[in-house]
Every structure is written in C-alpha cells, then in structure tokens.
Structure 1
Amino acid sequence: MALTKEEVLNVAKLARLKFSAEEIEKFQVELNDILGYIDMLNEVDTAETKALVQVNDAVNNLRDDKVRESLSTEKALSNAPDSGDGAIIVPKVVG
C-alpha cells in the first residue's frame, strides 16, 4: 500500500502540520517505507504463536493488601487553606 501525495497532505492536515513541498515528498517516501515494513510483518506466520501476557515467568507480583485506618475527614482537611462542608474549597478556574 503506497501513500499518495494527497494522502500525506491529508495526514499533515489532520495533525495540523504544515510542510514544504520537499518535506512532503520526503515524508511520502518515509511513510511508504514504514508501511512496507508493516506489510513484511503481515507475511509472518503467527498461527502457532501464543499471545505474550507477561515478559518474565513471574505472574502477578502483587503485595498482600493490609487493612489500615485511614485519615478522618477533619484531619485530612486540617492543612487545607480553605474548607467547608467536609470539602476543600478551591478558587474557580473556569470563567
């Protein structure tokens, strides 16, 4: 699958990029090379290949959960510059 100059211009437009005519030609060649490599990968037979789930042999290296007491609302709000009704009050940022 080869990209035309118009398709490269459309991709540049979608990405909101502007290029010179020389750059468009350069990117057309480079993008076509990339698509050629992808076509080469599509030729590889992967029917017998299992999906890779973990990179190493260890699976789910997770620590045990420990139930601990959490902060009370009063203690969590004690360092807030301004609070009210159990919440931190912040300045309005949207006009």
Structure 2
Amino acid sequence: MADPHPGASSTVELTVANDLGLHARASAKIVNLANEFDAETEIWLSYRGVEVSARSILGLMMFAAPKGARLTARATGPRAAEALARLEDLFRRRFDEEG
C-alpha cells in the first residue's frame, strides 16, 4: 500500500532501557500514545525484521524485546515528527518505571 503522506515520514532508533523490557504495561503505554493521534498519523515499530503497528498491543508484546533491545520506529502522516518525539521521550523515561 502506498504511503498516503509520502513527504511526511520519519524514522528513529530506540533502545529498551527498563529492566523488564517491552512487557504488557510498557506496550500498553505505547498503544495509548499511538491512539492519541488520528488515523492520518501512524506509528510502526520493528524488531528483528518484524514491523507492527504501535496500536497493536499483541504485536508489540510478540516482540518480547528485552532490556537493551534496539527497535526502529517509523511514523507517517502530518504529525509524524511529533509522534516520534513523544515515543522517544517515553522510551527515554523507561515507560515511567523504576529500573
């Protein structure tokens, strides 16, 4: 499927820094963030060659990404840069968890 916003796409590399990795609570926070944007702005995460929508908690949990895992985030749409900046901040804050 062609990108509906070909000029509005961004990519960033993210590192899972919290001790528990990308578990259910962390995945839910990503989904909640993604759902704050309308359908024109999409966020995708990829790990080990698999890409899933940031709106899919099952897809994110399927990664079973441990602490130290490197993920690629891609966003498209009119608010792509904002979406990735907020996602980077969430990862930087370790999903607001200790450790």
TM bucket, shorter chain:
under 0.3
* Greater share of residues in helix: 1
Tell which has more relative contact order, 1 or 2 (C-alpha 8 A, sep 6+): 2
> Which of these two proteins has the greater Rg computed from alpha carbons?
1
Q: What is the TM-score normalised by the length of structure 1? A: 0.25
